[in-house]
Amino acid sequence: MAVLDKDVGLVTKDITAQNTFSDGLYVVGDFNLSISGTFVATVTVQRSFDQGSTWRDVDTFTAPIETAGSDPEPVVVYRAGVKTGEFTSGTVSIRIGR
C-alpha cells in the first residue's frame, strides 16, 4: 500500500484476501466511496493524518454500498480494505474518488 500523489483523484482495488488495503488517497472536502462485489468480509475505511504512518478506523461495511463522505481536514489520506481475520470469500471492489 502506498499513499498516492496529491494530484491523483481516484484509487481502485479488488480485494480477494485478508490484510489487503487500497492505496491511500489524499482527500480535501467531499469524496465518493464505492464498495461492490460479491463477498463475505468486513471492509474497513481508514484515514491517516500523518501521510499513512498511522491509520485510524472510520467505518466498516459488510455489504456493497455507494456513499459519499466529507472531511474538513486540509490534508488527510483515506484507504479501504479488509483486516486480518475479516475475509471469508469473494471479491471486494473498492473505489475512492474525489
Whether residue 72 is contained in a domain is answered as yes
Does residue 4 form part of some domain? no
Of the pLDDT bands very low, low, confident and very high (cuts 50, 70, 90), residue 85 is very high
User: pLDDT (tens digit, 9 = 90+) per residue, 4-53?
Assistant: 677 788 999 999 999 999 999 999 899 999 999 999 999 999 999 999 99
Spatial contact of 91 and 37, defined as CB atoms under 8 Å apart: yes
Position 48 in a domain:
yes
pLDDT above 70 (res 60)? yes
The x, y and z cell numbers of residue 64, run together, are 456493497
DSSP state of 24: B
C-alpha closest to that of 19 among 36, 1, 37? 1
Residue range of the domain that includes 53: 10-97
Q: Is 4 helix (H, G, I), strand (E, B) or coil?
A: coil
Task: Tell me whether residue 88 is in a domain.
Answer: yes
Question: Is 3 part of any domain?
Answer: no
**In total, how many domains does the chain have?**
1
Residue 21: CATH number of its domain: 2.60.120.510
The per-residue pLDDT for 4 is 67
Classify residue 5: in a domain, yes or no: no
Model's pTM, two decimal places? 0.93
